[in-house]
Amino acid sequence: MIDVQSELYTIGREAIITDYPETEVSSTYNLQPSKFPFASIVEIDNSVYTPTSDSARVENHANITLEVQIYTTGANKQSEARGILSSLDEKYGSIGLTRMMSSPVTNLNDTNVYRLVARYRGIISINKEIYRR
């Protein structure tokens, strides 16, 4: 398995806290954060990219998908969440990941909390090079 979860988490975390230093960032889900703003960056898929499989090695590249969940509160909760996402977009885009989706999601645990979900995808080689799909 091509394992780059911790590297991609660290890159995303640094991008967020550079622009939003008060944000708590985690590598695990937390449906009821105790501190806001809060962001989780979780690898939700790491599968073999079969077009580059050969007889020497089954996994030459992996499809990697990260899911980001951002939780904010207060008068500027939407703009703050989108600002955090923008910081991630800029950094992840610069290393070759593509944002596949972003969408606000009703936070059923507390409707006063704004929740934004995004997914990033890339194809990563055994040498940890990232390619756009």
Q: What is the CATH number of the domain that holds 92?
A: 3.30.2000.10
Q: Is residue 66 part of a domain?
A: yes
Residue 92 has pLDDT above 90, yes or no: yes
pLDDT, residue 130, reads 87
pLDDT, residue 133, reads 57
Residue 57 has pLDDT above 80, yes or no: no
Residue 50 has pLDDT above 90, yes or no: no
Q: How many domains is the chain built from?
A: 1
Containing structural domain, residue 48: 5-126
Secondary element (H or E) of residue 81: helix 77-95
Q: Is residue 73 part of a domain?
A: yes
Q: Is residue 104 part of a domain?
A: yes
pLDDT tens digits, one per residue of 12-32: 999 999 999 999 999 999 988
Dump the DSSP string for 7-45: HHHHHHHHHHHHH-TT-EEESS--SS-SSSSEEEEEEEE
Q: Is residue 30 part of a domain?
A: yes
Q: Are the C-beta atoms of residues 89 and 106 closer than 8 Å to each other?
A: no
Q: Is residue 133 part of a domain?
A: no
Q: Is residue 132 part of a domain?
A: no
Q: Is residue 131 part of a domain?
A: no
Q: Is residue 120 part of a domain?
A: yes
